Amino acid sequence: MSIITENVDVETKSFTANAWNSIKEFKDKYCPDGTTCDNILSFALVIGCFVFMYIAMKPIFYGPFGY
């Protein structure tokens, strides 16, 4: 299932093909109904949004106001 440890035959399989197969295997193994993966992805995107909002707002709060 690992992209790195698999032998890659350059003529028949590319890195992207191995990556796509690994994603499909992960999805088949851990998300058979599809809802679990959707929930995990949504939660990760919300957390990422808050992290990037914090990074973007940090200069405003710590710069001119000196907190």
pLDDT in tens, 27-46: 888 888 878 888 888 999 99
Residues 2, 25: contact at Cβ < 8 Å? no
The alpha carbon of 30 is separated from its chain's Cα centroid by a whole number of angstroms, namely 15
Q: The whole model's pTM is what?
A: 0.53
pLDDT at 29: 86
The alpha carbon of 1 is separated from its chain's Cα centroid by a whole number of angstroms, namely 17
Top-confidence residue, 3 or 45? 45
Average pLDDT on 45-64 reads 88
Burial class (CB in 10 A: 0-12, 13-18, 19+), 59: exposed
pLDDT at 67: 56
Task: Give the residue extent of every domain in the chain.
Answer: 1-30, 33-67
